[in-house]
Amino acid sequence: MALHNFQGLNNGDEVDFESTWETLAASFTQIHTKNASLLSFEQLYRQAYKIVLKKKGDELYKRVASFEQDWLTEKILAKLKGLLSNALISGNSAETGGQTANERLAAGDRFLRELKTAWEEHQLCMSMLTDVLMYMDRVYCTDHRQPSIYNTAMALFRDCVLLSRITTSEEQWVTMLGVLRNIILEQIKMERDGDIIDKHAIKACIYMLEGLEAKDTSNGPEKLYSSAFEEDFIRTSHDFYKAEGETLLRESDAGTYCRHTKKRIDEELDRCRSTLSDSTTSKIERVVEDELIRNRMNDLIEMDSGVKHMVDNERLSDLGLIFDLNARVDSKKTDLTKAVQRIVVAMGTAINNAGAAASQTQPAPAPETDGDKAKTTVAGVANLLTVAAIKWVEDVLELKDKFDNVWSTSFRSDQALQTALTRSFAEFINAFARSSENISLFIDDNMKKGIKGKTEYEIDVVLEKAITLLRYIQDKDMFDRYYKRHLTKRLLMGKSLSTDVEKQMVSRMKIELGNNFTLKMESMFKDMTLSEELTAGYKEHVTKRGDPDPRRVDLDIKVLTSMTWPLEGMGASSESDEDARMKTIYPPAIERLKMGFEKYYSEKHSGRKLTWLANMGTADIRATFPKVPSKNGTIVRKHELNVSTYGMIVLLLFNDLPSGESLNFEDVQSRTNIPTNELIRTLQSVAVSPKTRILVKEPMSKDVKPTDRFSFNESFESKFAKIKVLSITSGNKVEGDRERKETEKKNNESRNHNIEAAVVRIMKQRKELSHQQLVSETLTQLASQFKPDVVMIKKRIESLIEREYLDHIDGGDSLRPLGPPAVRIESP
Amino acid sequence: MASSDPKSKLMIGMKEYAYNHLVVTMLTLTSLFATSKYSDMTIRCANRTWKVHRAVLSAHSAVFAKMFDGPFAEATSRVVDLEGNDPYSVAALLSFVYTFDYDDSEHDESAKLCPLSFNVQVYLIADKYDISALQDLAASKFKKCTTTGGVSNLGDFVLAVRAIYGWTKEDDTLRDAAVAFAWARTNILSPDSEELVQVLLDLPEFAVDLIKRATELSRRDVYHCPSCKKYWFAPPGFSGTGPCAIKTCAKARNDWSKCLVSLPRNTST
């Protein structure tokens, strides 16, 4: 009948479940014993299909699971257990029972490989079973929400093999999983200690753990890997690296430590890739970072061979390693930053101390016996001080170069460390009272000598260095004061090697510190140019008048705008005020010249008043000394003397004096009206200085006393035709303590003025501000010039209130300007 | 190509040259089947053999794919014995994998089945080898038989119903189709038919489905179309507007409420 053929299924053709199952089970055994090649897929498939179609899917499913359970327990587990020695089970390497490490390693390897094989075969067989049981999975499992037979079988491997208990003693047991974990952990430890292990076997077992869900998944789905292995791995790694960190710190130097740490991190990352799981990478990295870096960074930096040692010995690559380690755990590099700051400040302070020590040489003038010697000593001391000042700058620059190098090479040009370095340099530079003066002296020295024979590029480097240091200076106004003073001397005495370079320097400062800062310096240069024109113009004027006097005196004049130039500090001491200068008595020839120029000048610029600053000038004099006998007969000795203007005035006195006569100090003073101090200095330069003794002092000594007598030195001798008579204070030198106090006092006065100006400017603009706001605004406004003392600002505000420029609003804290602001802002 | 307008469906997102090429390729496949060219395996069933291509079968069926892929005997012998299957159904399956269609018209062979049962056969073999497209095709061919009068006698229908309720699960497409057909042809359900009574006794699920259908329909509104003069049940979610449910009429009306038949009663369409 037709029904008979209905898909081979009809009501009469009852499926005998038991016999069908027996056939299937026999085939499954074949599959497990790798004898599948004789089995017909179609037959197996059809049998399973029929069972499921007959609504026996549930029974089939259970039978398969139970078949696998038996197989795993009886065959696989038994085999694996046979490989376990007691030592492997206990996982305690101390109880090796005579086993060598190598034997242990080999036993562990065998176990791992066997487990790997068992797992892989289980997977392979189950995938074949699943293929044959495809209809069951598709129809029965889907309809009854059962996991696929494959997944169930994998879970069975976990439950029957991995989680099976192995009894070690009467009351103790471990799971197979525990044994596996211990073996892997032990092998990893061996690898860390330098042994070679079978990574593939471990990787395969790890892969298995990753593929299996943990059984107790109360906290959501979790892989067996994380619950049964990873946690322990991380914990033991913490212990391992903690101990290693301690040992390393004790036994190695910092460089080795860094290299080792780097190596360890790389090893662990590599281990995650090759042996464990990528998902552990970040966790183990964190462990090594914690134990070897984060918890040890401070010790590492502070150890004897730490950062200080590295900086001192230029261990740039080691420093780089430290930086890398620190950066790895801390984006701000806090530990390293602090250490570097401390080191910079310490090294800087050492330079400061050396600088201060050098300046202490001054107040110990050698008790003199011999005048000559004593004099050179005084000049020498002043020179030494200048040298010390310049050395300070050079030392700072060297330190800066050193750390720039460290920064760019070792610290990977890191922004945070740059900021820290800048702050530290500023800290110690500003802590040094003479930094402004020294930097200015450094520039002065370069302008006068340093840049000689240098290429444009080299000069550029020098200028840039000076600017670099200038950036650190907080009290720019002090520097301004010194720089203008030093510049004045260079310009007036023609000491600058190159006006171009001077101008370059000023324009650099302009870029760095703004227009206001260099305004006056620029007008100083303008004065210089105008003066040249005036000198030339006057010369022409004189020539035109046709005064062919061969003894005419040439005039090289510098007309200085009075408020622009810092003349108060120019060697003129407090007593040489306006009056004293006015009264200087010039020799007739010079007086004529002076009158002539004044007339010429007032024709050009009416209404301007000229004040002559004899203390600033120099004169070239041709002097003829009496004939003296020599090898080649007698010769007239002519020398060209370069002396200060005062020197000229004094020497000219002796021109008219009959041979053999002398003048005493008071005579000279009354005839010249040169201020006492200046006169003493002048006489020292022409009568005491050993090489320029144009006058003879009686008695001969270093000091010039009012009772000394002076006469023309007829027997003066010199190898040179041109002789420069050095004025004792002519060069730019380090200030003495008294001068320094004076400078500071002046600076404070101008600061007071600046503060008041700023306060009034702010109040005019803001109309109303609280006291505190006003102070902070004032600080901000003045930051580019100097860092004012808050007390100073408060005093100025009080003073302004007292003088009724400001008023408290309703007696409160807020302030307002009073009336139409009547403050005229004067420039200092 | 059973679908009314295969081209329009295939053309979605397909360039015309590609469509044309597809047709040519399918024809080539058909000829490969016919000539056994490049065939790399044999299928046996009853006394028939077919030379086929593993690649083609694997592309349609995961079961065949695994059968050739694994380490089982078929992979090396390259012979599959589909014993126990109806050879006509196997032929239909093979026809489908090469041409996407099969012929369900009456066979000349002695052991032939009526088209109704044959489609059920194909439906079941498609399920066995996991070719859902063939299942869909068989189901649609089955429905076509029931609606176009392909059922000539009660015996054929009963045979099909037995097969359907014997080997499919609840809510199967074929069960729905069989019940719908049985309900529509109330004449088939004549209680005089002993054969039918026996089926209802044998297949209680079939009886249950029939009753469910009856109660479900009795809750629905019945409309009388003024155009074609036929009665029809409101389809689920009917909103009172739209075309007449009788496909041959399909006259659209804005408001069917006037055509609502006040008393629900059993009506044949």
pLDDT digits (tens, 9 = 90+) for A319-378: 898 898 888 888 888 888 999 999 999 999 998 888 888 776 544 444 444 444 444 455
> Residue B93 domain-assigned?
no
pLDDT at A622: 76
Q: Which comes out higher in pLDDT, residue B264 or B234?
A: B234
Which chain A residues have a beta carbon less than 8 Å from that of B166? 6, 9-11
Phi, psi (deg, nearest 5) at residue A702: -75, -45
Number of domains in chain B: 1
Least confident of A210-214, A716-720, B39-43: A716-720
DSSP string of B10-70, one letter each residue? HTTT--HHHHHHHHHHHHHHHHHHHHTTT--EEEEETTEEEEE-HHHHHHH-HHHHHHHHS
Query: B245 lies in a domain?
Result: yes
Task: State which of A400-409, A597-606, A666-675 shows the largest mean pLDDT.
Answer: A400-409
Q: Which of B45, B69, B44 is nearest to B55 (CA)?
A: B69
- Percentage, residues of chain A above pLDDT 90: 17
The minimum CA-CA distance between B198 and chain A, rounded to whole Å, is 15
Does some domain include residue B238? yes
Question: For the ranges A498-512, A621-635, B171-185, which has the lowest average pLDDT?
Answer: A621-635
Q: Tell me, what's the ipTM?
A: 0.82
Q: What is the mean pLDDT of residues A631-650?
A: 73
pLDDT band at B154 (very low <50, low <70, confident <90, very high): confident
For residues A730, A736, A742, A747, the Cα torsion angle rounded to the nearest 10 degrees is 80
SS3 content of chain B, % helix, strand, coil (to 5): 50, 10, 40
Residue tagged 């869909």 (tokens): B136
Q: How much is the mean pLDDT over chain A? A: 79
Residue of A nearest to B127 (CA): A135
Binned at pLDDT 50, 70 and 90, residue A379 comes out as low
Smallest CA–CA distance, residue B214 to chain A, in Å, is 28
pLDDT of residue A809: 67
Look at residue B130 in the predicted model and tell me its pLDDT: 93
Residue A546 has pLDDT above 70, yes or no: no
> What pLDDT digit, counting tens, does each position of A698-724 carry?
777 777 777 777 777 777 777 777 777
A3 touches chain B (CB under 8 A): yes
Residues 87-116 of B with CB under 8 A from A: 89, 111, 113
Domains and CATH numbers, chain A: 11-212 (1.20.1310.10), 234-329 (1.20.1310), 434-566 (1.20.1310.10), 571-728 (3.30.230.130), 737-817 (1.10.10.10)
- From the list B233, B242, B236, B235, the residue with the least C-alpha distance to B260 is B233
CB contact under 8 A, A8 and B70: no
pLDDT digits (tens, 9 = 90+) for A143-162: 888 899 999 999 999 999 88
Contact assignment for B80 to A42 by CB distance below 8 Å: yes
Instruction: Indicate the range of A280-294, A386-400, A666-680, B103-117 predicted with least confidence.
Output: B103-117
pLDDT value at residue A8: 47
- B153: in domain: no
Residues of chain A with pLDDT > 70, as a percent, come to: 84
- pLDDT value of position B124: 92
The pLDDT tens digits of the residues spanning A18-56 come to 999 999 999 999 999 988 888 999 999 999 999 998 888
Task: Flag the least confident range among A261-275, A324-338, A363-377, A594-608.
Answer: A363-377
Concatenated DSSP letters for A483-548?
HHHHHHHHHHTT--S-HHHHHHHHHHHHHHH-HHHHHHHHHHHHHHHHHHHHHHHHHHHHHHTT--
Q: Is A2 on the interface with B (CB under 8 A)?
A: yes
- A573-577, A587-591, A804-808: segment of lowest average pLDDT: A573-577
Distance separating alpha carbons of residues A824 and A502, to the nearest angstrom:
33
DSSP A386-428: HHHHHHHHHHHHHHHHHHHHIIIIISTT-HHHHHHHHHHHHHH
Question: Exposed, middle or buried, A222 (CB in 10 Å: 0-12/13-18/19+)?
Answer: middle
The residues in B 222-261 lying below 8 A from A, measured between CB atoms, are: none
B117 touches chain A (CB under 8 A): yes
Residue A752's pLDDT is: 81
Probe site for chain B from A7, A32, A43, A134 (most B CB atoms < 10 A) = A7
User: Is B113 contained in some domain?
Assistant: no
Q: How many CA atoms lie within 13 A of A90 on its CB side?
A: 12
HSE (side-chain half, CA atoms, 13 Å) at A369:
0
Inside any domain, residue B86:
no
CB < 8 Å to A38, chain B: 73
Q: Given CB atoms, is A39 within the 8 Å cutoff of chain B?
A: yes
**Host domain of residue B265:** 220-269
> Using an 8 Å Cβ cutoff, are A294 and A329 in contact?
yes
Residue B269 falls inside a structural domain: yes
Beta strands in A660-766 (DSSP E): 663-664, 695-698, 709-712, 722-724
Express as a percent the part of chain B with pLDDT over 90: 23
Would B267 be classed as within a structural domain? Answer: yes
> Which amino acid appears at position B262 of this protein?
S
What is the rounded average pLDDT of the residues A111-124? Answer: 92
Does the pLDDT at position B268 exceed 60?
A: no
Q: Is the pLDDT of residue A91 over 70?
A: no
Which of residues A362 and A608 earns the better pLDDT score? A608
Distance CA B78, CA B56 (A): 14
